[in-house]
Amino acid sequence: MKRLQTLSIAFQVLTYVVMLFALYAIFLYAPVEKTMGVIQKIFYIHVPSAFLAYLAFLVTFIASILYLIRRETRWDTVAHCSVEIGVVFCTIVLITGPIWAKPIWNVWWTWDPRLTTTLILWFTYVAYLTLRRSVKENRRANLSAVFGIIGFINVPITFFSIRLWRTIHPVVITGQGLNMSRPMKFTLMWTMVAFCFLFFALLVSRIQIERLKLFIEEVTDIMEDMISKNSERN
Amino acid sequence: MKFIPQLKALVWKDFISEFRTKEMILFMCLFSFLVLMIFNFAFDVSINANRGMTAGLLWVAFVFSGLTGLGRTFSVERDRGTFQGLILSPVSPWTIFLAKLISVFVFTTFMEIITLFIFSILYNTTIFPFLVPLGLIVFLGTLGFTAIGTIFSAISATTRARDILLSILFFPISVPVIIASVKATGIILNGMPFTTVFPWLRILVGFDMIFLLVSYLTFEFITEE
Amino acid sequence: MDNGIYLFAAFGITWTIIFAYVFKLFRDQRALGEQIDHIKTTIRRNIRIDGGD
C-alpha cells in the first residue's frame, strides 16, 4: 500500500502542476484559430479525453486478460476502476463534441465514425458497470473480465463497419485535419500530458479506495465470525 | 473423439425439449409477426419506394425476436435446475456453448424463414429472385448475433434482471453485425450486383470468426463458479 | 465572440464532471474511514469482554 500511496500523491501533484501549465497554454499561448474562433479551444479537452477513454478500455482489456490467466483479485480491481474512469472521460468527449459541433456546423450530432464509435464505447462501458452490479460476488470478476475482453475487441470492428456505412452515405462533416501551427501542436501535447496525469491520478486513487473497500469487507467478515464465536462461548 | 457424439446429444436434448412444448418457436414467430405489423403503423413503409428501410425492418424483427429465444437458452436451464448437471457432466464448456448455439441458431433461422414469408405477404413483395444471396447474408448475420447472444445469455442467466441485462450487453456489441446485415440485405433487395455486397460480407465473416474464437477461449470462465 | 458561451459551457461541464468524480472518491474514502473506526471500536469492546474472561 505504501508504494501506491506515494505514487498517488506524486500523480496528483504532477496533475495540478501540468494542468495549470496546460490551461495557461490553452488560453494565453495558443493562437485563436482563424475560421472557428475561440471555440476551437474545446479541441484541447476533446482530443485528450477521447484518447484517454480508449486508453482506459485498453487497460481494462489487458487487466481482464491478466485476471483470467492469473486469477489475482488486483487485476479485477484495476479493470473495474479503469472502466469507471473511462466512463468519465467518455462522457466528457460525448458532451464536448456536440457543444463544439453546434456553433461550427449547426448540428448537435453527426454520425461520424469516430464519434459514433465513442458512443458505442460509452454504452459498452455502462453495460460493463451494469453487469458488475447485477451478478453475485463469486462470479463477478470472471464475467466482467470476459465482457471487458469482448467489448474491447468489438471496438475496431465497430469503427470499420461504421466507417464503411458512412462512406456510402453523403457525409455532412469531414474530419478535421491536423494541420495546426506549432504553438497549437505544442499546446495539444501539453494538454495531452496533463490529462494523462489526471487519468493516472484518478485511477490510482480509485484503485486505492477499492482495495481498502475489499480489505475492510474481509476484516468485517472475520470480525463477525469472531463475535459470533465469542457470543456462543459466553 | 467424444466431441461429436456429445455435441449431437446436447443439441438433440434441446430439440426434443422444444418439440414437446413448441413454446419458444411459437412465441418467436408471433413476436416477429407483431413487429412487422407495428412497423407498418409506425413508419409508412411504402415497399417499392424504399427497399433500404425494409431491410432494416426485417433485421429488427429478426434480432428482437431472436433475443427472446436467446434469453431463454440458458435461463430455462437455470430455472429447471439442470444447469449444474450440465456443467458437472464430462463435457467441455465449449461443447455446451456450441450445442446451445446450434439449437438457438436453428430455431432462430426457422423463425426467420417464417418471418420472410409473412413479410412477403404483408408487404406484397416477393423475395424469390434473391433467395440465395439473401440466404447467405441471413445465415452469416444470424450466426453472428446468436453467437454473441448465447455468450451473453450464459452471462446474464444467473442474474435477476436477466432479459434486460442481456439486451444491455447485447446491443452495443451487436452493432457491426446489424449494420453489415442491414446494408447487405438492402443492397440485395434493391437488385444490385452481388459484388457490391462483398465489403459487408467480409465484416460479417470476420465478426463471426472472431467471436467464435473469443467464445472458445473464454466460455469456460463463464461457467465456472 | 458569441461562440464564447459554448467554450465556457464545454470547459465548465468538463471540470464539473471531473470534480464531481473526485468528490465522489472523497466521499467514498470518508465512508471507508468511518467503517474502519467502527471496526476499531468493535475490536476494542471485544478485547474488553475477552479480557474479562
pLDDT value of residue C4:
79
What ipTM score was computed for the predicted complex, to two decimals? 0.89
| Residues of chain A with C-beta less than 8 angstroms from the C-beta of C4 | 38-39
Could A157 and B176 be called an inter-chain contact, meaning their C-beta atoms sit closer than 8 Å? yes
Say yes or no: A24 contacts chain B, CB-CB below 8 A.
no
The mean pLDDT of C28-48, rounded to a whole number, is 90
Question: Per-residue pLDDT tens for A172-228?
Answer: 445 555 566 778 888 888 999 999 999 999 999 999 999 999 999 999 998 888 888
Which residues contact residue A112 at a Cβ distance below 8 angstroms, ignoring those fewer than 6 apart? A166, A171, A173, A175
Residue B74's nearest CA partner among B106, B102, B100 is: B100
Domain that holds residue C26: 18-53
Of B168, B172, B225, the CB nearest to A139: B225
Is A32 contained in some domain?
Answer: no
pLDDT value of residue A172:
47
More confident residue, B82 or A168: B82
| Residues of chain B with C-beta less than 8 angstroms from the C-beta of A150 | 148, 151, 173, 211, 214, 218
Say yes or no: C14 contacts chain A, CB-CB below 8 A.
yes
More confident residue, C49 or C41: C41
Question: Per-residue pLDDT tens for A34-57?
Answer: 777 778 788 889 999 999 999 999
pLDDT value of residue B50:
59
- CA–chain centroid gap for A161, Å, is 23
| Residues of chain B with C-beta less than 8 angstroms from the C-beta of A131 | 155-156, 165, 168-169
Kindly list the partner chains of chain A, i.e. chains with 3 or more CB atom pairs below 8 Å.
Answer: B, C
Q: How far is CA B207 from CA A107, A168, B176, C12, in A?
A: 32, 20, 8, 40
Question: Per-residue pLDDT tens for B17-75?
Answer: 888 888 889 999 999 999 998 888 887 655 555 556 788 889 999 999 999 999 888 88
For A130, the closest chain B residue by CA position comes to B165
More confident residue, A111 or B51: A111
Contacting C residues, span 25-44, partner chain A, CB-CB under 8 Å: 25, 28-29, 32, 35-36, 39, 42-43
pLDDT value of residue A77:
95
Say yes or no: A123 contacts chain B, CB-CB below 8 A.
yes
Average pLDDT over chain C reads 86
pLDDT value of residue A106:
85
Q: Number of folded domains in chain C?
A: 1
Q: Which residues of B193-212 are buried (b: 16+ CB within 10 A; e: fewer)?
A: eeeebebbbebbebbbebbb
Amino acid B180 reads A
Q: Are A122 and A94 in contact (CB under 8 A)?
A: yes
pLDDT value of residue B52:
61
The mean pLDDT of A75-103, rounded to a whole number, is 94
Q: Are A8 and A201 in contact (CB under 8 A)?
A: yes
Residue C33 to chain A, least CA–CA distance (Å): 9
Which of B17-26, B74-83, B99-108, C27-36 has the least mean pLDDT? B74-83
Q: Are B151 and B219 in contact (CB under 8 A)?
A: yes
The mean pLDDT of C9-37, rounded to a whole number, is 93
Say yes or no: A70 contacts chain B, CB-CB below 8 A.
no
For A209, the closest chain C residue by CA position comes to C29
Say yes or no: A167 contacts chain B, CB-CB below 8 A.
no
Under DSSP, is residue A133 helix (H, G, I), strand (E, B) or coil?
helix
Say yes or no: A65 contacts chain B, CB-CB below 8 A.
no
Residue B218's nearest CA partner among A54, A144, A130 is: A144
The mean pLDDT of B135-156, rounded to a whole number, is 94
Say yes or no: C7 contacts chain A, CB-CB below 8 A.
yes
Which residues contact residue B64 at a Cβ distance below 8 angstroms, ignoring those fewer than 6 apart? B31, B32, B35
Is C32 contained in some domain?
Answer: yes
Residue B110's nearest CA partner among B25, B181, B188, B11 is: B25
| Residues of chain A with C-beta less than 8 angstroms from the C-beta of B161 | 134
Does the pLDDT value for residue C9 go beyond 50? yes
Is A221 contained in some domain?
Answer: yes
